[in-house]
Amino acid sequence: MKISAKLLGSVLIIFVAAFGGLAYLADRSARSALVFEAAQQLEVVRRSRAEALTTYFNSSYDGLKAAAGGVTPDVLLHEMPRAIRRLPREVDGDTSDRRARLIDYYKTTIEPGLIRSGIAWPSAEGYVSRLGEEAIALQSEAFVGADAHRTAYGALHAQYHPRVVDFARSSNWLNVILVTADGTVVYTMQKGIELGVNLRSDPWKGTRLADAVEHAIHSDGRDRRFFTDYAPYAPAFGTPMSFMSTPVFGTHDTDGLLGAIVLFVSLNEIERTLTEHSGFGSTEETYAVGPDLRMRSSSRFHAEPTSLKLVVDTDAVHRALAGEAGTIQQLDYRKERVLSSFAPLSFAGVTWAILAEIDIKEVLIPARALRLRIVWLFVAFTAVAGALLVFVLRRVVLAPIGTLTHAAQRIEHGDFEQPVALDTADEFGQLGRVVNTMMGSVRSSLHSTQARLAESQIDLRQVAARLNNVREQERSRLARDVHDQLGQALTAFKMDVAEVRRRLGRDDYSGAGARLEEVSCRIDAAIDETRRLASELHPPALDDVGVIDAMRGYLLDYSRRTGIAGTFDADVAPAAPPLPKDHGTALFRILQEGLTNVVRHAEATHVDVRLTVTRDEVALVVRDDGRGIPPAGQRARGLGVVGMRDRALLFGGDVSIAGEPTGTTVTARLPLAEDS
């Protein structure tokens, strides 16, 4: 592809990218603004619904408290327990007859509803059998329909029940019950099956109703209020019910605790408050979730009631139940991405999460319309701008590029004589002048480079010769050592063996033991010398114990042989990789050469050796307390120093020498590759 096409394509790509970036930023800005505005509106909706629920709960409690301080509960809790105790003697029939009629009532009226709702509850016979004589008489009067006015309880009920009903209806209450201090229900507005039972006995013991009563009875003040969270209420056939309770004290100063008044709080008002459409959006929804992660209201997206049935396990719910408030984007219980405004809603020790949500796709509908308009604008603008770019690029850019291309082709063929004919005042003209200057520099540099190349070839030949001499010298040294040490030892062995053989041939055993002892000592010396020569060729400790222990052992042996005291220290970082074998061998040889130079030149009494291994490199430092070396000596190129540097250079490392005014320090650094 020609550069003209590439350049034109690059400019178009840059333009498209720039315009696309601006469009993206505009889209993001619009989306952010829409989400922010929606979040503000959701927060307003959520706050208003929360305030409405709080007002409802507070007004219900205020009404309940006012009722508890009135005359009616005082009279009823004083008089009704006595009236109930008289009731078995005032009603017709004996206890067994009343029990039978009550069982028949439960079977025909109560049990079918419990069965349909799936509520676990004792059978009619089992439940009635647990009722006492007074409770049976009371429920018979209430449920079976006897003439209530002829009993003391009936007279009290007829006198005060209308007052309770009027007060309850004015406060939009569902049901109210009165419970004595011993837990006996003496009055219910709706005549439920809890009438006459003791809430401290089975199956009522431990129910939410019993808990509400116990909290109120055992409170430490008149102004205490108690509220139980919603749960299916068996006597109401599983209808979600909550209980609000407060203690009832006598109206006289000498009166103490009489019992408790309990308000049945249904979900109707909560449903009405939360499901009322705000007009914000078609997918806007406000709902409450309890600590069990179940809804306390019905979803507007479900045809069936969802209170206490639908589980909402979302981040917003968990954060609200933890006491946080805010607005986030998340997947809701329908697995739809929504904008969710959440906060805790607390009343009398019960905390819910209240959430106002709307689908993100509904919030972003205006942003999608804006995106479509941007796309059409982009297409039109790109067509016009592309035509202008083609015209300008051909005249201003592509023609000078062609001239420079021809000049480059000439340079490729070695033609540095013909200058570039481009003398415009812009950057292309400047580039042409630079190219002309460059060609002149290339001509002069070419000769210099050729000269340096020849010098480098000479240096390489000298290095090769030097390395060959070093190898030959090392072979000669090893040959001398083998000849001088092992050869002499073997000659002595032969002479000693011949002498022993001669004496044994004459049966002369005198001195044979001493001579054999001498032979054994010479054999041990020869073995030691053989090991020393093998160690110089390749120290076995490198393979047996590793480079650190090999260096430490070599330094100890060095101190014994030379009398120069030595200390060795190794510092290996926890993150350091294992030291490669070839690195260890090179460092060991550098240590040998460094210690040899100390013996030969330093006149030192002590030498320190330190090996440091990190994640990136390994460093060996050999420092003596000798007479040091001048700066010129630090740059020496003797065979020992060259050998150390060549070994380090094989691994991309280096060796530095410092030694003035006293002592000499040799530092070798080898990098450690990641895959070492």
Distance CA 528, CA 534 (A): 10
Radius of gyration for the chain, computed over Cα atoms and rounded to the nearest angstrom: 52
Which residue type sits at 388?
Answer: L
Q: What is the 3-state secondary structure (H, E, C) of 370-431?
A: HHHHHHHHHHHHHHHHHHHHHHHHHHHHHHHHHHHHHHHHHHHCCCCCCCCCCCCCCHHHHH
DSSP state of 141: I
What pLDDT is stored for residue 542 in this prediction?
Answer: 78
**Angle, vertex CA 525, rays to CA 520 and CA 527, nearest 5:** 95
Residue spans of the chain under pLDDT 50: 676
Burial of 157 (0-12, 13-18, 19+ CB in 10 A): buried
Q: Which amino acid is at 325?
A: A
The owner of tokens 């993150």 is 575
The answer to whether the CB of 32 falls within 8 A of the CB of 39 is no
**Listed residue (56, 18, 34, 38) closest to 276, CA to CA:** 56
Q: What is the pLDDT of residue 145?
A: 58
How much is the pLDDT for 535?
64
Amino acid at 97: D
Beta-ladder partners of 280: none
Residue 483: the pLDDT is 67
CATH superfamily of 69-266: PAS domain (3.30.450.20)
CA atoms of 499 and 510, how far apart (whole Å): 12
* Helices 365-393, 3-68: crossing angle, 10 deg rounding: 160
Residue with tokens 């109120």: 216
Query: What's the rounded Cα separation, in Å, for the pair 118 and 238?
Result: 8
**Alpha-carbon gap, residue 345 to 289, rounded angstroms:** 10
Cβ atoms 518, 511 nearer than 8 A: no
Residue 571 in contact with residue 612, Cβ under 8 Å? Answer: yes
Look up residue 113 and give its two tokens. Answer: 């509803």
3-state secondary structure of 95: helix
CA 247 to CA 179: how far, in whole Å? 10
Q: 34-60 burial, b for 16+ CB within 10 Å, e for fewer?
A: bbeebbebbbebbeebbebbeebbeeb
Residues 362/363/366/368 CA torsion (nearest 10 deg): -70
**Tell me, what's the pLDDT at 436?**
76
Q: Burial of 508 by CB count in 10 Å (0-12 exposed, 13-18 middle, 19+ buried)?
A: exposed
The b-or-e profile of 439-462 (16+ CB within 10 A means b, else e) is: beeeeeeeeeeeeeeeeeeeeeee
State residue 495's pLDDT score. Answer: 77
Q: What is the pTM of this model?
A: 0.53
What homologous superfamily is domain 542-671 in, according to CATH?
A: Histidine kinase-like ATPase, C-terminal domain (3.30.565.10)
Asked whether 184 and 81 are in contact (CB, 8 A), the reply is yes
The pLDDT value given to residue 636: 54
Contact 625, 663 (CB under 8 A): yes
Tokens of 88: 């078995």
Q: What is the pLDDT of residues 403-443, one digit of tens each?
A: 777 777 777 777 767 777 777 777 777 777 787 787 777 77
Q: What is the pLDDT of residue 536?
A: 65
**What's the confidence (pLDDT) of residue 631?**
67
Q: How many helices (H) and strands (E) does the chain have?
A: 21, 15
